[in-house]
Structure 1
Amino acid sequence: MYTEYDARHLEKELCIRNLIKTNEAKAFFTAWAADEERHTDGFIQIMELVAGGSETDLRERLDARSHDFSAISEFLKDEFSLIVMIAFDEMCTCRAYAAEREFYAGLGNSRFLRWLREVIADEAVHSMNAVNVIRSRYCDRVSEVGAILESLISGMTDDTSYTGTFVLDYFGTAYTKELLANCRTTILRNVAKPLTPAEQDGSNRRAN
Structure 2
Amino acid sequence: MCGLWVAYKRHWSARSLFKEISNSGWINPGIDPKYEKFFLADLFSEYDAISLYHYLYPKRSELSSYFVQYLDLWFLDERNHSDGFLELNRLLFNSDEETILNNLKSRHGNFEHLEYLLSNEVNLLTLFAYDELISVKTYRKDTFYNEFGHPAFNTWISNLIADEATHFANAIKLLRHHHSYNLDKIEKALDHITQLESIPYRNTFLLDHDGPHFLLGNTNYEKAAAGEILTILARNKR
Deviation at residue 35 of structure 1 after TM alignment? 0.6
Whether contact under 8 Å (2:49, 2:75) holds in the other structure is yes
Per the alignment, do residues 165 and 121 of structure 1 end up closer, same or farther by CA in structure 2, a change over 3 Å counting? same
Structure 1 SS opposite 2:209: coil
Match of 1:203 in 2: none
Contact 1:76–1:82 (CA<8 Å) still a contact in 2? yes
Aligned: 1:166 with 2:166:
no
Preserved contact between residue 14 and residue 20 of structure 1 (Cα < 8 Å)? no
Alignment of 1:56-205 (within 5 A): 56-101=98-143, 103-157=144-198, 160-171=199-210, 172=212, 173-175=214-216, 176-194=218-236
Give, in angstroms, the shift of residue 64 of structure 1: 0.8
Q: Report deviation, 1:99.
A: 1.4
1:96 and 1:111 map into 2 onto residues whose CA distance is 19
Q: How many residues align?
A: 193
Percent of aligned pairs with the same amino acid: 25
Distance in 2, matches of 1:177 and 1:138, equals 30
How far off its partner does 1:177 sit? 2.8
1:51 and 2:93 equivalent?
A: yes
User: Which has the higher mean CA deviation after the structures are superposed, 127-136 or 144-153?
Assistant: 144-153
90-99 or 147-156: bigger deviation: 147-156
Shift in CA distance, 113/19, structure 1 to aligned 2, threshold 3 Å: farther
Secondary structure at the counterpart of residue 75 of structure 1: coil
Long gaps (5+) in structure 1? 197-208
In the TM superposition, residue 60 of structure 1 has moved relative to its aligned partner by: 2.0
Q: CA RMSD in A?
A: 1.9
Unaligned runs of 5+ in 2: 1-42
SS at 2:148 equivalent:
coil
Q: TM-score, normalised on structure 2?
A: 0.75
Deviation of the 1:195 alpha carbon: 6.7
Deviations 1:91-139 (A, max 9, x none): 00110111122x3223333322210011011101101101111111112
Alignment of 1:24-39 (within 5 A): 24-39=66-81
Q: Does structure 1 retain, via aligned residues, the 8 Å contact 2:126–2:186?
A: yes
Moved over 4 A (4+): none
Please give the alpha-carbon distance, in whole angstroms, between the structure 1 residues aligned to 2:62 and 2:106. Answer: 27
Question: Counterpart of 2:37?
Answer: none
Q: What amino acid sits opposite 1:8 in the alignment?
A: I
TM-score, length basis structure 1: 0.85
1:5 to 47, 52, 55: 47
Whole-angstrom distance in 1 between the partners of 2:57 and 2:138 = 29
SS at match of 1:67: coil
